[in-house]
Every structure is written in structure tokens, then in C-alpha cells.
């Protein structure tokens, strides 16, 4: 049997249909700074003081939206029945991070919600508005109006000093039964999902029980500080199997600060380098002692890495003084910095170690986005397309080095009939190379008896002919 990734916002179990996220080996553990219990009395010590401090700042979040429910096509043929509206809802958790009512949760808890309600630990309920929602990091920031009242908060621990084996508590509202506390340890750090180096997060893995409804809840350390937002689990059954993942405090802090500062989208610094995780074979050929770090496979001209002097073939060994585990951890470590920061990047080049200072910059938005909706009599009618730039690619979570015209939405029509999908890159129309949305609009406006369309999907080019 395979393990499945499960998002956990609702009472109904939502088992994901994709294989488990790839995880990478970790670097050697640092010298221990914690000491285990040394007596039976210490073993009997309670977590109650930590819970008393943290629990009042953990809230329940319910999100509702109205959806149009279609009638059975059989009855529709006879003119019977009509589409009806029904309410879809989800339940999750959240954490108060500012006393004036700023709350952080998972984006998938509130995504699409038209009515969001926050219930405090004392059962008072408040309507909430979304300040920022970021699907890629799966974080959202909400605000409730509590007047002049000061709410209890959890301090965000973004120092990165957590260690594998540290005791942690997960606090949330599983299955809607009410606030629940479970305990465990940090099982692993820097668990990443994207081997390309464009990771949005490097998760904290924990064995503390996390179940549906815990999404957006708190993962706290023994000091009662927030070290992560519980996000998803790997499970065969859809319930906790001891493999849960939380978004680290450093990224939570970035998202909250952006929202409080008036930003509606999270702007991530972009290194401007295509990275590959160092494999054992690479390590041997490069003369590295261990297979860790990220090989620079390509550098974007004029990007942050290029301006700092990073070259193709370099191996990134550290970011900001912290060892680089793999390509995804490098992307995450750089991406959690603020635009304008100067970051020290350790390199190994031609067998020698050196360091360069990289100025964090946002991904460039060149060429312009130029969103277009394709119309007319052609197979792409009904598709929304944009020009790919590193900024657009980063926003949509696709390869930031990709170029061309990206399909972002299909609104029925011929595009849906022929099987075009969001994420497809249009490469050619009737033998004409497509590089911009203007090229595509021009090509589809020409009359043709037959249409030969070439797209790129999942790294493979597909060509089909339509009458």
C-alpha cells in the first residue's frame, strides 16, 4: 500500500491522490543542547503549563461558500429540475499572532470561502476577513475586529534553533470535537517537496497526532512558542499515522509581516539559478566528502546569483551560515529572506571553498504578463493564457526558467473539448513558433481548415491536429 498526502481542514477526510512527497536526507546533527529526563520525577512532569500559555491563542475557523449544484442530466433532458444552490463548508484551526486579532491559518482552510467565522477558545465568534492568501505556501492571514480588546497571542519562534528530538505539542480542533492537544517530537527537519530548488517550504515533520480539522493549528515547543503551522499528513487511512508536517515559523513570520504591512501577495526573493541536489555520484565526481549541497546547473542572466558572481558548475554549500542540505532547502532558505537583504552564500568551486554576498531580489516580470482570453473559431477558444516570466512562474509554482505562453485557465469551449489543461505551454500553431501571447492571438485569428497545435506538458512536447 502507498502512503498518501492528506490536507486536513475538514471533518470529512480528504485523502490525496498523489504519491507521498519526496524527502531528502538531512545533514549530520549539531551537538546536543537539550538534556533528557534524569529521574522518575522529571518523567512525570506535566505539559499543563505549556498548554495554559498556548491554548488560548489557538482558534477554530469555519469557512462557507455557496456552490451551484447541477441536476441529473437524465432529468434535465425532460426539463425537470433546476440547478440549486448548496452550502459547502470546511473546518480548521488558526493561531492568533497579534493581540489586535491577526490570525494565521492554512490557505486551504479558507480558500474560496465567502463567509469565514473565527471561534475563540472562550467560544465567542467573530466574522473574519482575509488580509493575505498564498496558495503556494498554503498560508493565509485573517483579521477579526475585537475593538480595543487585547487577545492572547503565540510568539513566533523563527530562530531556526529547533532540533530533531525536541518535544512539541500540536493544538487544534480535530474532527470538530473541540480544542485538542497532542504531543510528540520533531521527527525531521527540512522535509521538502520540490527537488528543483524552487521549494516554497521546508517542512517540520512531527509524530504528534494531527487529524482532519488540525489544519492551521499550532505546533508549539516546550516554551509555548509557535514553531510551525500544522498543514498536512501522510497516511494510508486519512487519519494520523504519526507522519505530520508543519510550515516553519520563519515562513509564517514572513507571511504575517507582509500582510500586516499592507501586502496582499508574498514577494519571494529569487536566487536566479537552476539547482540540482548533489547525488552520491555527483559528490564523487566533484570531490565532495558528502552528497550534500546544490549544484548550479544554470544561471539567469542579470539575476541575483549572476550579479553576485555565482557560476554554472558551482556547488552551494551554505546559505546565511547554515549548511545547504539539497537544492530545495537552498531555494527555501533564500526565499524566506526579504527583498533587499544581503545573504552570504557558501560555494565550492574548482575544489576550493569561498563565499559570495547575494543581494535578494524579486523574480523579474519580463516579459510582461499580457493576459489574453483566446476567442474565435480555433481549438484554443476558451483558454486564458499569459506570458511566462520568472515572476509569473514563481507566482504559479512552475519552473521559473520556463519560457513561452502558459495556459492558466480553461473556461469551457473548444479548449476544454480538445483536452487543453492549465499548466500547458503552447509551443506552436500550424508550424508557427509561439513565444508570446501576441504570437498566439495572431496565429489563432487566422482562418484555417485544420489546426496543428504543439504544447509542452510535463516536460514533453505533444502535437495534435484538429479539423
**Active-site residue flag, 215:** yes
Decide which of 228 and 44 is more confident: 228
Q: What is the pLDDT of residue 202?
A: 82
Residue 101 C-alpha cell reads as 486579532
In angstroms and rounded to an integer, the radius of gyration of the C-alpha atoms of the chain is 25
- Torsion-angle region of 381 (φ positive above 0: left; ψ -120 to 50: alpha; else: beta): beta
Range of weakest confidence among 109-113, 124-128, 198-202: 198-202
- Are 145 and 105 within 8 A, CB to CB? no
Distance CA 43, CA 49 (A): 15
Distance CA 299, CA 311 (A): 7
Distance CA 259, CA 251 (A): 13
Cα–Cα separations (whole angstroms), residue 98 to 11, 145, 173: 28, 12, 20
Helices (H), 215-292: 249-260, 280-286
* Residue 13 banded pLDDT, cuts 50, 70, 90: very low
Q: What is the pLDDT of residue 194?
A: 53
Q: What is the pLDDT of residue 162?
A: 87
Residue 276 C-alpha cell reads as 540540482
Range of weakest confidence among 11-25, 79-93, 173-187, 340-354: 11-25
Distance CA 279, CA 164 (A): 23
Q: What is the pLDDT of residues 256-265, one digit of tens each?
A: 999 999 988 8
**Active-site residue flag, 264:** no
- Are 57 and 64 within 8 A, CB to CB? no
* Residue 15 banded pLDDT, cuts 50, 70, 90: very low
Closest Cα to residue 315, out of 333, 343, 341, 290? 290
- Are 244 and 208 within 8 A, CB to CB? yes
Predicted TM-score (pTM) of this structure: 0.76
Distance CA 323, CA 332 (A): 13
Of residues 62, 90, 93, 108, which has the active-site annotation? 108
Distance CA 109, CA 8 (A): 8
Of residues 63, 90, 187, 215, which has the active-site annotation? 215
Q: What is the pLDDT of residues 394-427, one digit of tens each?
A: 888 788 898 899 999 999 889 999 999 999 999 9
Give mean pLDDT, residues 162-178: 90
Give mean pLDDT, residues 228-247: 85
- Are 428 and 434 within 8 A, CB to CB? yes
Distance CA 120, CA 265 (A): 27
Closest Cα to residue 194, out of 271, 276, 279? 276
Of residues 62, 63, 93, 138, which has the active-site annotation? 138
- Are 401 and 271 within 8 A, CB to CB? no
Q: How crowded is residue 176: how many other Cβ atoms within 10 Å of its Cβ? A: 13
Q: What is the pLDDT of residue 185?
A: 95
Burial of 193 (0-12, 13-18, 19+ CB in 10 A): middle
Q: To the nearest whole number, what is the mean pLDDT of the chain? A: 84
DSSP characters over 187-251: EEEEE-S-TTS--S--EEEE-S---TT-TT-EEEETTS-EEEEEEEEEESSSS--S-EEEEEHHH
Q: Is the pLDDT assigned to residue 195 strictly greater than 70?
A: no
At 337, which helix (H) or strand (E)?
A: none
- Are 98 and 260 within 8 A, CB to CB? yes
Residue 372 C-alpha cell reads as 489574453
Q: How many residues does the chain have?
A: 467
- Are 62 and 95 within 8 A, CB to CB? no
Q: What is the pLDDT of residue 24?
A: 43
Residue 134 C-alpha cell reads as 498564498
Q: Are strands 342-349 and 383-387 parallel, antiparallel or unpaired?
A: unpaired
Q: Are strands 218-221 and 226-235 parallel, antiparallel or unpaired?
A: antiparallel
Q: What is the pLDDT of residue 112?
A: 81
Per DSSP (E only), the strands in 12-124 are 14-15, 58-69, 84-98, 102-105, 115-119
Cα–Cα separations (whole angstroms), residue 360 to 95, 342, 388: 29, 6, 21
Give mean pLDDT, residues 91-99: 93
Closest Cα to residue 465, out of 406, 418, 409, 416? 418
Distance CA 232, CA 241 (A): 12
Give mean pLDDT, residues 3-26: 42
Highest mean predicted confidence (pLDDT) among 61-65, 229-233, 329-333: 229-233
Q: Is the pLDDT assigned to residue 12 strictly greater than 80?
A: no
Residue 280 C-alpha cell reads as 552520491
pLDDT-above-70 percentage for the chain:
83
- Are 364 and 303 within 8 A, CB to CB? yes
Q: How crowded is residue 33: how many other Cβ atoms within 10 Å of its Cβ? A: 8
Q: What count of Cα atoms within 13 Å lies in the side-chain half-sphere of residue 49?
A: 4
Q: What is the pLDDT of residues 112-156, one digit of tens each?
A: 877 899 999 999 999 999 999 998 889 999 999 999 999 999 999
* Apex 46 CA angle, 50 and 208, nearest 5: 70
At 51, which helix (H) or strand (E)?
A: helix 48-54
Give mean pLDDT, residues 434-445: 93
Decide which of 190 and 134 is more confident: 134
Q: Is the pLDDT assigned to residue 23 strictly greater than 70?
A: no
Residue 292 C-alpha cell reads as 550534500
In order of start, what are the domains of the chain with their CATH numbers? 55-144 (2.40.10.10), 273-359 (2.30.42.10), 372-466 (2.30.42.10)
Amino acid at each position: 500500500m502507498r502512503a498518501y498526502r492528506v490536507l486536513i481542514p475538514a471533518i470529512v477526510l480528504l485523502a490525496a491522490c498523489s504519491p507521498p512527497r519526496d524527502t531528502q536526507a538531512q545533514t549530520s546533527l549539531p551537538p546536543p543542547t537539550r538534556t533528557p529526563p534524569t529521574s522518575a520525577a522529571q518523567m512525570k512532569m506535566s505539559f499543563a503549563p505549556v498548554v495554559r500559555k498556548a491554548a488560548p491563542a489557538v482558534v477554530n475557523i469555519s469557512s462557507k461558500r455557496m456552490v451551484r449544484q447541477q441536476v441529473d442530466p437524465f432529468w434535465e433532458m425532460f426539463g425537470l429540475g433546476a440547478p440549486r444552490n448548496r452550502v459547502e463548508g470546511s473546518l480548521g484551526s488558526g493561531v492568533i499572532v497579534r493581540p489586535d486579532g491577526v490570525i494565521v491559518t492554512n490557505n486551504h482552510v479558507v480558500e474560496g470561502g465567502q463567509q469565514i467565522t473565527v471561534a475563540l477558545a472562550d467560544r465567542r465568534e467573530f466574522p473574519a476577513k482575509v488580509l493575505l492568501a498564498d496558495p503556494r505556501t498554503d498560508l493565509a492571514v485573517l483579521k477579526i475586529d475585537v475593538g480595543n480588546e487585547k487577545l492572547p497571542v503565540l510568539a513566533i519562534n523563527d530562530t531556526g534553533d529547533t532540533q530533531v528530538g525536541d518535544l512539541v505539542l500540536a493544538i487544534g480542533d480535530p474532527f470538530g470535537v473541540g480544542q485538542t492537544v497532542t504531543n510528540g517530537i520533531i521527527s525531521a527537519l527540512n522535509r521538502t517537496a520540490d527537488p528543483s530548488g524552487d521549494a516554497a517550504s521546508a517542512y517540520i515533520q512531527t509524530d504528534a497526532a494531527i487529524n482532519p480539522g488540525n489544519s492551521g493549528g499550532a505546533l508549539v515547543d516546550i516554551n509555548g512558542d509557535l514553531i510551525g503551522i500544522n498543514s498536512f499528513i501522510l497516511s494510508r487511512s486519512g487519519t494520523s499515522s504519526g507522519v505530520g508536517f508543519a510550515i516553519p515559523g520563519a515562513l509564517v513570520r514572513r507571511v504575517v509581516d507582509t500582510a500586516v504591512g499592507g501586502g496582499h501577495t508574498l514577494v519571494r526573493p529569487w536566487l536566479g539559478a537552476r539547482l540540482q541536489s548533489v547525488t552520491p555520484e555527483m559528490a564523487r565526481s566533484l570531490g565532495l566528502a558528502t552528497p550534500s549541497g546544490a549544484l548550479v546547473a544554470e544561471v539567469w542572466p542579470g539575476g541575483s546569483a549572476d550579479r553576485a558572481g555565482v557560476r554554472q558548475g558551482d556547488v552551494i554549500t551554505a546559505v546565511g551560515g547554515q549548511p545547504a542540505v539539497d537544492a530545495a532547502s537552498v531555494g527555501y532558505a533564500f526565499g524566506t529572506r526579504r527583498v533587499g537583504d544581503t545573504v552570504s552564500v557558501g560555494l565550492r568551486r574548482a575544489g576550493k571553498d569561498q563565499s559570495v554576498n547575494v543581494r535578494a531580489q524579486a523574480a523579474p516580470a519580463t516579459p510582461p504578463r499580457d493576459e489574453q482570453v483566446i476567442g474565435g473559431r480555433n481549438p484554443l477558444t476558451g483558454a486564458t493564457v499569459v506570458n511566462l516570466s520568472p515572476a509569473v512562474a514563481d507566482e504559479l509554482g512552475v519552473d521559473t526558467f520556463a519560457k513561452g505562453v502558459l495556459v492558466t485557465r480553461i473556461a469551457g469551449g473548444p479548449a476544454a473539448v480538445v483536452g487543453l489543461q492549465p499548466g500547458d505551454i503552447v509551443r506552436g500553431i500550424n508550424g508557427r513558433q509561439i513565444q508570446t501571447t501576441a504570437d498566439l492571438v495572431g496565429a489563432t485569428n487566422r482562418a484555417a481548415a485544420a489546426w496543428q497545435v504543439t504544447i509542452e506538458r510535463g516536460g514533453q512536447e505533444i502535437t495534435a491536429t484538429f479539423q
